[in-house]
Copies of this chain bind each other. A is one copy, B any other.
């Protein structure tokens, strides 16, 4: 298989490499005829410029990277889609990278920044426990989107963040359950989420109970300690099953993600419990699927589209030096659906 380079094309066309380069990159200083001739040979020979070589030279690579921790979480799929669209509008390329649970996202970010000549990074999900020093080594601006709590000791001037107030919104959800008369409210948290968003949502849960003078029972805090994907339905199913087997008494179950809730829904059903007649069930995130379950899921809906759009715009603005780093918090919306009801 012959893989032509820019030199080959130049030789074939009987022109210099720079002329070919000009043709490829839509430079103005070129004779339209020459350009057409070059472009046609390029098509003929199936020439594709080597991006590695390009990036080596270029300074303005019009590309950003999106680093996702936990791609299995359906919540992110939508965000990625919207970010992709926004990038396209701006004619930016988007490098999508999936970070393993045990990988360090900042290390990966550094690698990616070097690899491509990209201009910015979006971190999606994951927990956050990096040193300021390490972060500072990232030479391009970055935005944390729906990432858990970022330590206070890290200067807010070196990064941007986009998220809902997980603790507050979580408390609101539990408030709502309490307003329905529930006092025995179990919560489902994946243990591995402890350091991240899960922790915040758990704290919100505690806040709400405390505010209403309801005792917090350790036994109702169901922290899964398994190898399963933290946001998976399977995890929700198995954990709820265990909770039920332990014989805990509760009239409401709050899962800190919709995926967990969907698994829980089935576990409750299997145990012969009706939702919401016997047990109220609530989720968090507002993924599309929550609307299609039977019963549909009461959840705290994050404005995904808006958040994803703003994430991208913010990053582009920072790249263009139109703005400094920002920290935007969004209001989540309590979506009351069929899975919750007054305490029986």
Chain A interfacial positions (CB closer than 8 Å to B): 1, 3, 46, 48-53, 55-56, 71-72, 74, 77, 80-81, 84, 96-98, 100, 110-111, 113-117, 136-137, 139, 232-234, 237, 262-263, 265-266, 269, 288-289, 291-294, 296
Q: Measured between C-beta atoms, what is the minimum distance from A72 to chain B in Å?
A: 6
What residues on B are CB-neighbors of A100 within 8 Å? Answer: 84
In the complex where A74-B74, A265-B292 touch, is A52 in contact with B48 (Cβ < 8 A)?
no
Which of chain B's residues have a CB closer than 8 A to the CB of A237?
292
Residues of B within 8 A of A80 (CB): 71, 98
A64 CA to B51 CA, complexed, in Å: 16
Whether the pair A292, B262 counts as a contact (CB closer than 8 A) is yes
Can you list 21 A-B contacts (CB < 8 A)?
A: A1-B136, A1-B137, A3-B139, A46-B110, A46-B137, A48-B110, A48-B111, A48-B113, A50-B56, A51-B52, A51-B115, A53-B56, A74-B74, A84-B100, A233-B288, A237-B292, A265-B294, A266-B294, A266-B296, A269-B294, A294-B294
On chain B, the residues within 8 Å of A3 by CB distance are: 114, 139
Determine which of B77, B114, B139, B289 lies in contact with A50 in the assembled complex, contact meaning CB atoms within 8 Å.
B114
- Contact between chains at A52 and B49 (CB < 8 Å): no
- Chain A: interface secondary structure? helix
User: Complex: how many Å from CA A56 to CA B232?
Assistant: 40
Known A-B contacts A96-B98, A98-B84, A294-B269; A115 and B289 likewise in contact (beta carbons under 8 Å)? no
Other-chain contact of A266, B1, B49, B52, B292 (Cβ < 8 Å): B292
Q: Are B289 and A262 in contact (CB under 8 A)?
A: yes
**Which chain B residues lie closer than 8 Å to A265 at the CB level?**
292, 294
Chain B residues with CB under 8 Å of A51's CB are 52, 111, 114-115
Shortest Cβ distance from A2 into B: residue: B139
Asked if B292 contacts A115 (CB within 8 A), the reply is no
A152 to chain B, nearest CB (A): 24
Contacts of A98 in B (CB 8 A): 80, 84, 96
> Across the two chains, which residue of chain B brings its CB closest to A46?
B137
CB distance from A311 to the nearest CB of B (A): 17
Hey, which chain B residues are within 8 Å of A137, CB to CB?
1, 46
Please, how many angstroms separate the alpha-carbon atoms of A46 and B136 in the complex? 11
A45: nearest residue on chain B (CB-CB)? B137
A294–B275 Cα gap in the complex (Å)? 11
Contacts of A55 on B, CB cut-off 8 Å? 52
Residues of B within 8 A of A115 (CB): 50-52
Q: Which chain B residues border A74 with CB–CB below 8 Å?
A: 74
Q: How far is the CA of A233 from the CA of B78 in the complex (A)?
A: 13
Q: Which residue of B lies closest to A113 (CB)?
A: B48
